[in-house]
């Protein structure tokens, strides 16, 4: 009985130690979540302005021609896939990996961003480039997009797509696909515009800038979703720890009461024997 009580007490002590770690990770994830959300909103504003300019040019010049708008003959896709460097964030990387496997076809090209995602992907799918997500900045996104756009313009691939984790709310996020090229703009309005040097050059440059900005926004959204997923996972771990500690405390008290009852019974039995 004493060994059973000791084992329960050790488990309670272990759970409390684990809970300190998960609570700290939840606080850190919350802080990072707020910071990344602000960065994402700033970049979204810039991206929206670029997309509005492109939409107005296309609405004003319905006959305009651009290699970024035309469909390509190649059936292949160039994938840029965002994951995480660290674990302990639920099914975050698994969902991204699953979506890539469902859509990947032989002949496609893949760029992986995220060390943890890489461990899931590298044994199944070939890749042309890799980068840890914590070390990925705007310059890296620009480099990736230049490589992918060159393949698109050479008709090596017919589409450029990004697989990321869409942030819907603090408790709702899902793996999703965003098509970068061929460019699919929104509706614009006709207006008088002056172009320098010419409308095609201006449009193509704006689309290039937009692809980089949109992709960077998806990277930031992925980072936000990672922290939200980790915060939720740590919150669930804390809740489970509380429940388990309560159950073990009850079991410990029952074992302690049983030991006391047994001691009293032995004392009374010894007294009767005298």
Report pLDDT digits (tens) over 206-218: 899 999 999 999 9
- Is 160:80 a contact under the CB 8 Å cutoff? yes
- Is 50:217 a contact under the CB 8 Å cutoff? no
Can you tell me the mean pLDDT for 86-109?
Answer: 89
The reported pLDDT for the residue numbered 3 is 62
- Is 93:84 a contact under the CB 8 Å cutoff? yes
Give dist(CA 35, CA 233) in Å, integer: 19
The reported pLDDT for the residue numbered 271 is 62
Task: Indicate whether 162 pLDDT > 90.
Answer: yes
Q: List pLDDT tens digits, range 168-181.
A: 887 888 999 999 99
* Rg for the chain, CA atoms, rounded: 28
Q: List pLDDT tens digits, range 69-96.
A: 888 889 999 999 999 988 888 788 999 9
Can you tell me the mean pLDDT for 33-55?
Answer: 80
Tokens read off for 162: 């990004």
């Amino acid at each position: 009985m004493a060994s059973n009580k000791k084992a329960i007490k050790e488990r309670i002590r272990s759970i409390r130690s684990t809970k300190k770690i998960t609570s700290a990770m939840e606080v850190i994830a919350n802080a990072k979540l707020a910071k990344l959300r602000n960065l994402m909103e700033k970049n979204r504003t810039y991206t929206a302005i670029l997309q509005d300019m492109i939409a107005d040019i296309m609405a004003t010049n319905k006959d305009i021609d651009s290699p970024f708008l035309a469909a390509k003959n190649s059936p292949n896709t160039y994938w840029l896939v965002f994951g995480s460097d660290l674990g302990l964030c639920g099914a975050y990387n698994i969902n991204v990996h699953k979506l890539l496997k469902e859509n990947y076809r032989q002949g496609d090209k893949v760029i992986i961003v995220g060390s943890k995602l890489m461990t899931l992907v590298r044994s199944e799918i070939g890749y042309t480039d890799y980068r840890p997500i914590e070390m990925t900045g705007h310059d890296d996104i620009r480099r990736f997009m230049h490589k992918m756009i060159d393949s698109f313009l050479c008709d090596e691939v017919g589409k450029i797509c990004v697989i990321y984790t869409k942030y819907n709310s603090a408790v709702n996020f899902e793996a999703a696909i965003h098509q970068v090229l061929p460019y699919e703009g929104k509706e614009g309005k006709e207006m008088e515009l002056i172009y320098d040097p010419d409308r095609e050059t201006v449009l193509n440059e704006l689309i290039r800038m937009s692809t980089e900005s949109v992709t960077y926004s998806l990277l930031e959204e992925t980072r936000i979703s990672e922290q939200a997923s980790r915060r939720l996972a740590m919150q669930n771990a804390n809740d489970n720890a509380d429940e388990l500690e309560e159950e073990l405390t009850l079991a410990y008290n029952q074992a302690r009461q049983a030991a006391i009852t047994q001691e009293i019974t032995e004392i009374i039995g010894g007294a009767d024997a005298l």
